A = this chain, B = another copy of it.
Amino acid sequence: MTIDNQKRAAMTQQLRFLAQADDPFSRHFFEKAVFTTLNKGQYVCHEGSSCSHLAIMLNGTARVYKLGENGKEITLYRVDPGESCVLTASCILSEVPFPAIAVCETAVEAVVIPAGDVQKWLSESITWRNYIFGLVATRLTNIINVVEDVAFRRMDKRIAEHLYKRTDRTSHLLLATHQEIASELGTSREVVSRILKEFELEAIIRVTRGSIELLDPEKLDRRRCEI
């Protein structure tokens, strides 16, 4: 899909590395970038697939997760607007197969860059280089934090953390099943159910089918931070 002026303005807004309009890189970028939309639930990368394009998110979010042999899942990170799936990026650049699964959590708008140009621009543009390496470093840090979480923190703290981060600030609601939360954290549904019940008894939340209402954010915050 070609990129009209309206989309172009929106993208310049969204992608900070395009801000320097004088940079010839921006011109190259718009020459090669292709606008795409994806539906909610659509898979972007499969485990072990090699990547021929780099997608940069404009709107929506994607979840990158690892699937265990027993069918359990754990979220590694999310790709939010302005970001990109660096796993893809580094797989492009080194031709290592992609070690996880990426799926759209919402409807998604993105621009897609062919692998060759991703490579080429690295040698031509410091802006692009900084963008890519910034992503790599933050992802590495993300994933290392996941390791730390899984290896060292207790389940109730991790669930508290998750509720704290992902509950809607205005409605105080989190729309998610216990199974979804379990898949987020790499545990099992029963464990989530039990701990949520605990929190409910402490009057921190109210649990209903498919949604959780946050009653006492402060108490949750305390629960989350204690060791």
Contact = CB atoms under 8 A, between A and B. Distances in A.
Given A137-B91, A144-B66, A186 B151 contact: yes
Interface string A39-70: 00000000000000000000000000010111
Contacts of A139: 140
A173 interface: no
A143 B140 CA distance: 8
A136 B141 CA distance: 12
A119 to B, nearest CB: 8
Contacts of A123: 122-124, 126, 129
Contact of A99 (B69, B86, B144): B144
A90 interface: yes
A76 interface: yes
A140 to B, nearest CB: 6
Contacts of A69: 152, 227
Contact of A93 (B68, B96, B133, B141): B133
Contact of A151 (B99, B133, B150, B152): B150
